[in-house]
Amino acid sequence: MSRHAVEAVDRAVRVTRGFLFPFEAVRWAKLGFLALVMVSGGAGASGATTSSLGGPAGGGAGDWSDAGVTEPVSVPAGVERAANAGVERLAGFDTALLAGLDAALLTGLALGVLLAGMALFACSIAFRLVFYEALSTTEVALWRPFRDRFRQALGLLGVAVLSAVAVGLPAVAVAIAIDPDLLRFLGVSAGGLAARSSVIGPAFGVLAVIGATVAVVGTVVSRITFEFVAPAMVARDVGVIDGWRAVWASFRGSWADVVFYFAVHLVLAAGVGIVQAVAAAFVAGVVGVSALVALLLAAVALGGVGALIGTTAGAIALAAVLVCAVVAVVVLTLPATLVVRTYLTAFEVSTLAGIDPTLAPLAPTLAASDDREPTGE
């Protein structure tokens, strides 16, 4: 598999060129939409991040109560009165707002937000499968393949959720092992925690090691699922389980070489990411200067910077320029985004085609261009 990953570096260039060119505006518009909305490889693992739990690292029980200002600070009386009044109004508003909300309503809102996020994530996975289907036919369609592949996307969503849990829970366990005082957020009293610290510390240390191992395995499983199993599902029109069986049968005996593929992928992603970031920074700079000029012209028309900031017309002008600037940056950087996403996806599929061509969703024309190797003689 190591040689397949190396050969796929050049093959992906030829596949990308054959897939994107000759240029067609409508085709590029559809592919640009897919590049913006489809989930990237290994998204199931990347969706789990460590919680931003506050508190001093490694602090004891007293650190939570003694973290105040040790010296008085002189504050003008007017500023202090205004600040205190603002805090009181804010506290009263929060109290009144929370008092009017039922716990069941808050739970329902949180559940609704979670379900909406998962639905959007499932759609993003489905659009990734749509991109694979476009590679397999060279015909770019959106609605029909999205509808046909959505059931497969739900299966991949299940893998992503399991991977997120496998990575997220160990991350929390590691954070608690580093600072057991974080258990305060779970309702454990400081006294009880201090009394059992001699037992909890080693227990969480062992849990952290086990959790780190589970997190690594979950990340690898997620990446293999999204970078190899997902295209195999499209190529063979099967579900997640059958896709995993096919990939397992092809990769059996070569699992050590998967590490080499991940290393090559990391280098490629870093390289194209730097190029993309430089291009985006250049475009953002040009758009930012243009937006500043537009705001200066608007300020002159409205009668000054104060009018631009303090009037309704000025607020509308600011919002319009900001929206136009964001849209301009997205549109102008979209070609680079499309090329980068296409190349990385083509690299993954080309590596899979080198291992087992029947698992790779590559159209015959793209596969033919993929097989044209320079002889060098």
Torsion of CA 275, 277, 280, 286, to 10 degrees: -90
Taking a C-beta distance cutoff of 8 angstroms, is the pair 336, 280 a contact?
yes
pLDDT (tens digit per residue) in 50-78: 333 333 333 333 333 333 444 444 445 54
Least confident range of 280-289, 306-315, 329-338:
306-315
One DSSP character per residue, 181-193 reads GGGGGGT--HHHH
Q: How confident is the model at residue 200 (pLDDT cuts 50, 70, 90)?
A: low
> 166: buried, middle or exposed (CB in 10 Å: 19+, 13-18, 0-12)?
buried
- In our burial notation (b when 16+ CB lie closer than 10 A, e otherwise), range 96-107 reads eeeeeeeeeeee
Distances (CA, A) of 16 to 201, 264, 346: 52, 18, 7
**CA 213 – CA 210 distance, rounded (Å):** 5
**CA 344 – CA 267 distance, rounded (Å):** 11
Tokens representing 94 are 């929060």
Distances (CA, A) of 344 to 10, 25, 339: 11, 22, 9
pLDDT (tens digit per residue) in 188-197: 554 444 445 5
- Name the nearest CA neighbour of 171 among 39, 47, 61, 266: 47
Q: Is 218 helix (H, G, I), strand (E, B) or coil?
A: helix
Query: Mean pLDDT score of the chain, rounded to an integer?
Result: 78
| Amino acid 199: pLDDT | 52
User: What residues have CB less than 8 Å from 265, skipping those under 6 apart?
Assistant: 5, 227, 344, 347, 348
> 123: buried, middle or exposed (CB in 10 Å: 19+, 13-18, 0-12)?
middle
Task: Tell whether the model's pLDDT for residue 135 goes beyond 80.
Answer: yes
Torsion of CA 180, 181, 187, 190, to 10 degrees: 120
Task: Tell whether the model's pLDDT for residue 147 goes beyond 70.
Answer: yes
Torsion of CA 29, 31, 36, 41, to 10 degrees: -170
Tokens representing 234 are 């499209």
Q: How confident is the model at residue 101 (pLDDT cuts 50, 70, 90)?
A: low
Task: Tell whether the model's pLDDT for residue 170 goes beyond 60.
Answer: yes
| Amino acid 377: pLDDT | 37
Determine the average pLDDT of the residues in 301-309. 81
Distances (CA, A) of 357 to 6, 23, 248: 16, 27, 14
Task: Tell whether the model's pLDDT for residue 99 goes beyond 90.
Answer: no
Q: Any idea where the domains of the chain sit in the sequence?
A: 1-23+254-365
pLDDT (tens digit per residue) in 334-369: 999 999 999 999 999 999 988 888 999 999 888 775
| Amino acid 153: pLDDT | 95
pLDDT (tens digit per residue) in 252-300: 877 767 788 899 999 999 999 999 999 999 999 999 999 999 999 988 8
**CA 377 – CA 373 distance, rounded (Å):** 11
pTM of the complete model: 0.75
Task: Tell whether the model's pLDDT for residue 203 goes beyond 90.
Answer: no
